[in-house]
């Protein structure tokens, strides 16, 4: 769906740009010549209003001339600078909630054309702990948002609701540290979101330089039987291939992420989530013709940067 809107915006911008260009380069000189001929015949200079009456600009050309600069700026901003996204699910709670609207920094990792997503310029690569938006690998028409947990070469283990990371070894295969437990501190054991009846355990977790909150449901277990199986590793272990990343949702027991469908290739990266610019309180709708969740107020306290 996101690709469809990007393609539609690009096509509409190009069409209006071509109409404006054709009018400026072909039709406008003809209009000016007609006005010049009429001034010569009348032996006087015509006003702009008289010129418009004698050689009027077509409505579609006038509209294209007015709209094209706006569309062009929007296309540039949306494709290469910042793009707004809406958080549609609970997979990133408590960092991001349903009803949050975020800005994604499109130039964080690379500049890509808005239609075919060919890389125009490489800028940077994700760091462990960043919240990133990417094209969903099994179906690239959808945008997903998760936290980057594993970098190329990392060994990731998620066992008994505990995350372990073994950073990549050096080029010679030496200096391989043992997998380390990612440090976390229990903050509360009764976290409840969106009127859910089951209390969750909320932890402060540290990934590299990033401190963030995660949720764990102590009543759930056994999901490892659905994990993505990588050849040569245990059921709950993965080694991140070169040029790919391992991502997870902060709501660990309610997130469809790399544990279940695999890795995120570099070419699928869209950008880094940097700012919550609007957040709506959501409530379940009792009406059959309204969406399942409807906004009931604004959560002003949530506006700000994404950790």
The answer to whether 189 is a known catalytic residue is no
**Are the CB atoms for 109 and 271 separated by under 8 Å?**
yes
SS3 state at 49: helix
d(CA 229, CA 233): 8
Q: Spell out the SS3 assignment of 83-106.
A: EEEECCCCCCCCCCCCCEEEEEEC
**Long-range contacts from 233-239, C-beta under 8 angstroms, 24+ separation:** 234/157, 236/157, 236/158, 236/159, 237/155, 237/156, 237/157, 238/150, 238/155, 238/156, 238/263, 239/153, 239/154, 239/155, 239/156
d(CA 157, CA 179): 8
Residue 238's nearest CA partner among 157, 149, 164, 170 is 157
In the set 79, 106, 146, 258, the catalytic residue is 146
The answer to whether 146 is a known catalytic residue is yes
Length of the chain: 307
In the set 91, 108, 110, 258, the catalytic residue is 91
Give Cα separations from 249 to 6, 122, 162, 182, 217 (angstroms).
26, 26, 14, 15, 13
Show which residues are catalytic.
91, 146
């Amino acid at each position: 769906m996101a690709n469809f809107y990007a393609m539609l915006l690009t096509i509409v911008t190009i069409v209006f740009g071509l109409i404006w260009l054709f009018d400026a380069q072909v039709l406008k000189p003809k209009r000016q010549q007609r006005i010049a001929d009429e001034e010569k015949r009348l032996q006087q200079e015509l006003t702009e209003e008289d010129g418009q009456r004698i050689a009027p600009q077509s409505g579609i050309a006038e509209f294209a001339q007015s709209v094209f600069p706006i569309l062009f700026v929007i296309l540039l901003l949306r494709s290469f600078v910042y793009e707004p996204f809406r958080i549609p699910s609970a997979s990133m709670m408590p960092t991001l909630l349903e009803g949050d609207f975020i800005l994604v920094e499109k130039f964080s990792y690379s500049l890509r054309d808005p239609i075919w997503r060919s890389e125009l310029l490489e800028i940077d690569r994700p760091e462990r702990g960043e919240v990133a938006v990417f094209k969903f690998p099994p179906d690239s028409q959808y945008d997903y948002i998760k936290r980057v947990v594993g970098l190329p070469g990392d060994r990731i283990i998620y066992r008994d609701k505990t995350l372990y990371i073994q950073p990549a070894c050096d080029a010679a295969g030496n200096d391989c540290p043992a997998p380390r437990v990612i440090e976390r501190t229990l903050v509360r054991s009764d976290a409840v979101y969106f009127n859910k009846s089951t209390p969750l355990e909320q932890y402060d977790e540290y990934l590299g330089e990033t401190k963030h909150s995660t949720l764990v449901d102590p009543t759930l277990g056994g999901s490892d039987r659905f994990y993505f199986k990588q050849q040569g590793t245990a059921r709950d272990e993965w080694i991140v291939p070169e040029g790919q990343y391992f991502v997870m949702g902060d709501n660990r027991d309610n997130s469809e992420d790399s544990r279940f469908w695999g890795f995120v290739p570099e070419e699928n990266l869209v950008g880094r989530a940097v700012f919550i610019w609007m957040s709506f309180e959501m409530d379940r709708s009792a009406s059959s013709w309204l969406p399942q969740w409807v906004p009931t107020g604004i959560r002003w306290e949530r506006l700000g940067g994404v950790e």
